[in-house]
Amino acid sequence: MKAIVQERFGSPDVLQFVDADLPEIGPDDVLVRVHAAAVNPYDWHILRGDPYVARLMGTVGHTRPKARVAGVDGAGVVEAVGTGVRDLRPGDEVLGRFEGSFAEYARAGADLVVAKPSRLTFEQAAAVTMAGQTALRAIRDVGGVQAGHRVLINGAAGGVGSYAVQIAAAMGAEVTGVCSTGNVELVRSIGAAHVIDYTREDFTGGRLHYDVVHDNVGNHPLRRLRRALTPSGTLVSNAGGPPGGHVFGPIGAILRVIAVDAIVRQRLRPLPDSWTRNHLLAVTGLIEAGKVTPVVGRTFPLADTAAALRYLEGGHARGKAVITVA
């Protein structure tokens, strides 16, 4: 099969488009013929082995990447199933967490994939897993958004932000999205009642206050973000934002949020990475109901995966960047 292989940490230039062996599956795995794969900030952290503390912990690998074939999110068709798999069969269209999704075939745990919503293309489906469940946890679980809440999404046109806008609106919140001038109409079209162009207005000025602020960008200090909250409002700080340094990454910012939360009335919450099948099923349920639609900004062929990662690392991606494989 054709695959994007990474033998060492570094820039996107270290990625190689080569022939590789098909992955072997265990009794509880499925082999998926990949049709499309999403590009996530997680991927360029793995690519660069950044932050360094993740190497020391062995999270991304000590001296070289743990996974030789890159990519973690994808959508495709089940090719084969392990002997212990009962709920999936060859020919099923699925999306989920794949091991090495930047390839023509990938292995996945059967409990890490779900049925692809019929209304989605494979490119749209590939964009669901990491960004969709991150937004759901931020808005529903950590933010505690309820009908009638005033909710602000900073980075509303990005991968996670575009889901957060739609999920909050589906829950009955009055959503304000923050984005650049070129994305104002997009953010309005996906459910934001109000849109702030950050090139013209600073939402942390204290003029308006929100019950929940979901920060995906990390471009404002904590004290200013708090100015945008009501006295008992909730800030959800997405740990998947800017790196915050090559040594410790976002850990310092997370610790600041926790420390200040202990002494103020407002609820300040970091958003750690986590995964559950139920979160993904909840997102695909919203998609099947027509309440959420993935926003795919750009697509790249598999051979141009390095270019996709450079585009994402630039920090101004619109919606999700997706690799087309099949």
- DSSP assignment of 153-217, as one string? EETTTBHHHHHHHHHHHHTT-EEEEEE-GGGHHHHHHTT-SEEEETTT--GGGSSS-EEEEEESS
Please count the other Cβ atoms lying within 10 Å of the Cβ belonging to residue 317.
18
Q: 81 and 137, same structural domain?
A: no
Answer yes or no: do 149 and 257 share one domain.
Answer: yes
Domain membership of residue 280 (yes or no) is no
Q: What is the CATH number of the domain that holds 84?
A: 3.90.180.10
Q: Which own/partner pairs from 246-249 qualify as long-range (CB within 8 Å, at least 24 positions apart)?
A: 246/50, 246/51, 246/52, 247/51, 247/52, 247/53, 248/51, 248/52, 248/53, 249/45, 249/50, 249/51, 249/53, 249/54
Listed in sequence order, the residues at least 6 apart from 300 whose beta carbon sits closer than 8 Å to its beta carbon are 39, 307, 308, 311, 321, 322, 323, 324
pLDDT at position 168:
98
11 and 114 belong to one structural domain: yes
198 and 80 in a single domain? The answer is no
- Tell me whether residue 106 is in a domain: yes
Q: Is residue 285 situated within a structural domain? A: no
Burial 243-260 (b: 16+ CB within 10 A, else e): bbeeebbbbebbeebeee
User: Do 104 and 135 sit in the same domain of this protein?
Assistant: no
Examine residue 284 and state whether it is found in any structural domain, yes or no.
Answer: no
Q: Which residues contact 187 (CB under 8 A, 6 or more apart)?
A: 156, 157, 162, 165, 177, 179, 195
pLDDT one digit per residue (tens) for the chain, 326 residues: 999 999 888 888 899 999 999 999 999 999 999 999 999 988 877 777 665 555 555 555 556 777 889 999 999 999 999 999 999 999 999 999 999 999 999 999 999 999 999 999 999 999 999 999 999 999 999 999 999 999 999 999 999 999 999 999 999 999 999 999 999 999 999 999 999 999 999 999 989 999 999 999 988 999 999 999 999 999 999 854 444 455 445 666 777 788 887 888 999 999 877 778 999 999 999 999 999 999 999 999 999 999 999 998 887 889 999 999 97
Confidence at residue 9, expressed as pLDDT on a 0 to 100 scale: 82
Can you tell me which residue has the tokens 């749209």? 124
In the numeric block, the tokens 């992955």 are attached to 23
Q: How far apart are CA 21 and CA 86, in angstroms?
A: 26
Residue 262 lies in a domain: yes
pLDDT score, position 238: 84
Residues 225 and 244 in one domain: yes
Burial class (CB in 10 A: 0-12, 13-18, 19+), 266: middle
Q: Which 8-state DSSP code applies to residue 24?
A: P
Same domain membership, residue 231 and residue 184: yes
Q: How far is it, in rounded angstroms, from Cα 270 to Cα 223?
A: 15
In a domain, 205, yes or no: yes
Q: Say yes or no: 123 and 136 in one domain.
A: no
Same domain, 111 and 139: no
Give the CATH number for residue 186.
Answer: 3.40.50.720
Same domain (yes/no): 22, 89: yes
120 and 137 belong to one structural domain:
no
Query: Would you state the pLDDT for residue 46?
Result: 77
DSSP-assigned beta bridge partners for residue 80: 31
Q: Which of 231, 184, 187 is nearest to 206 (CA)?
A: 231
Q: Is residue 260 part of a domain?
A: yes
In a domain, 210, yes or no: yes
Rounded CA gap, 214 and 187, in Å? 15
Q: Which pLDDT score is estimated for 61?
A: 58
Per-residue burial over 281-299, b if 16 or more Cβ lie within 10 Å, else e, is ebbbebbeeeebbbbbbeb
What lies within 8 Å, CB to CB, of 160 at 6+ separation is: 131, 134, 135, 138, 216, 238, 240
Same domain, 244 and 185: yes
Select from 141, 156, 263, 139 the least CA-distant residue to 216: 156
Rounded Cα distance, 209 and 233, in Å = 9
pTM recorded for the entire structure: 0.91
* Number of structural domains in the chain: 2
* Structural domain that includes position 298: 2-128+294-324
